[in-house]
Amino acid sequence: MQHVLITGGAGFIGSHLADELLEHGYRVRALDNLSPQVHGSGGGRPGYLDPHVELVVGDVRDPAAVRRALRGIDVVCHLAAAVGVGQSMYEVAHYTAVNDLGTAILLEALIERPVERLVVASSMSLYGEGLYRTLDGRRTAAPERSLAQLRAAEWEVRDARGTILEPIPTPEDKVPAIASVYALSKYDQERLCLMVGRAYGIPAVALRLFNTYGTRQALSNPYTGVLAIFASRLLNDRPPTIFEDGLQQRDFVAARDVARAFRLAIATPGLDGDVFNVGSGRAITIREVADRMARVMGREYIGAEITGKYRVGDIRHCVADIDHARAVLGYDPRVSFDDGLLELAEWLEGQQADDRVAEASEALATRGLTV
């Protein structure tokens, strides 16, 4: 029976991964600092965390806590990270410390005590814009949208002649185009794990997670996933706020599907240095997400607020090409978006959320991070 350490294991994705691993016969330990932004000010063990999970309360930046958490461990799933594109653009030192330094401390501990496999949670954010197709059918990386274009509310990505490009699924070989501090730190986490793993003979795998949603997301954290942010607004009878025109496309994947991808990355033999997209492979607009979220929560009367503003670090379209994960891991998403929304809505009944979206938006605006 393999013993797995999940860094960030008391969080949203980490706790779902713990459930998945326990169900399949693994022993699970979680290292988590129970950050107040995610877990609230109480600082206690989350009620949703399975009692069979051994929780080590500590920070991934603390070498002693990391060494303690690694005792007797066979596999590490590294999920610990500060999350949020907007906040990363002004809390630069914090994001760099947690995501980069925290990963470096973990890796130094693994150099001293190697494990059978290291699986790191990377992010679709490192792609920047997803992949596009020209009118003549060629695949192309997207040019960055100009400030003048954004100020004119011309949101779509265009080629040098001004022709709108067609978004297509983004594969792993797309060259990264880092657009935020958060994206850079996630790319650093991925590359550090694969590089050090290769140097020291630790089989390492990176999963580039797309927009993950589901139960247990921190509803009072205005820098978490967009579905949780929309739910927080709707629970308080306030409209979801949407940047640009709401027609930007994303790929939403259920946390339970992500957890299964991690388990497959642990169990599949022969993986070393590989990278996999983990998404649903389906595109949906942010405006449609807000509308469907309102319907399943019984808040159809609350229309979304389309701001017509651009947030620095945001991209227009990005959807996963998951063919590589299908072929190698046997990964295939099982939770449809409709089923995932219904599950989320059931969990939201009785939940309370401190809506801090306006506060977060003001923090961006005062720093000139919205246009």
- For the chain, count helices (H), then strands (E): 14, 16
Is residue 340, in this structure, part of any structural domain at all? Answer: yes
pLDDT of residue 351: 82
Among residues 117, 101, 98, which one has the least CA distance to residue 5? Answer: 117
Range of the domain at 263: 3-366
Tokens of 137: 């059918």
pLDDT of residue 95: 97
Q: pLDDT class for 367, splitting at 50, 70, 90?
A: confident
Query: What is the structure's pLDDT at 220?
Result: 76
> Do the Cβ atoms of 32 and 9 come closer than 8 Å?
yes
Asked if residue 135 belongs to a domain, the reply is yes
What percentage of the chain reaches a pLDDT higher than 90? Answer: 80
Average of pLDDT values for 10-31? Answer: 98
* CATH code for the domain of 153: 3.40.50.720
* Distance of alpha carbon 80 from alpha carbon 98, whole angstroms: 8
pTM for this prediction: 0.96
Cβ atoms 118, 208 nearer than 8 A: no
Quote the CA–CA distance of 238 and 348 in Å, as a whole number.
15
Beta-bridge partner residues of 123: 209
The two tokens of residue 37 are: 């932004």
Structural domain contains residue 354:
yes
CA distance 307 to 64: 46
φ, ψ for residue 141, nearest 5 deg: -80, 145
> With contact defined as beta carbons under 8 Å apart, do 126 and 176 qualify?
yes
Split into its structural domains, the chain has a count of 1
Query: Does 371 fall in a domain?
Result: no
- CB environment 142-163: b (16+ within 10 A), e (fewer): beebeeebbeeeebbbbeeeee
Residues of the chain above pLDDT 70, percent: 100
Three-state DSSP state, 191: helix
pLDDT tens sequence across 272-292: 999 999 999 999 999 999 999
Q: Is residue 19 part of a domain?
A: yes
pLDDT band at 187 (very low <50, low <70, confident <90, very high): very high
Mean pLDDT of 93-101: 97
Does residue 15 lie within any of the structural domains? yes
Catalytic residue among 182, 223, 310, 331: 182
3-state secondary structure of 89: coil
CA separation (Å) from 3 to 10, 18, 180?
A: 16, 11, 35
Using the predicted structure, report yes or no on whether residue 363 has a pLDDT greater than 90. Answer: no
289: its two tokens? 């997400």
Query: Is 132 in the active site?
Result: no
Output 363 or 280, whichever has higher pLDDT: 280
In a domain, 188, yes or no: yes
- Average pLDDT value for residue range 161-184: 95
CA end-to-end span of the chain, whole Å?
A: 53
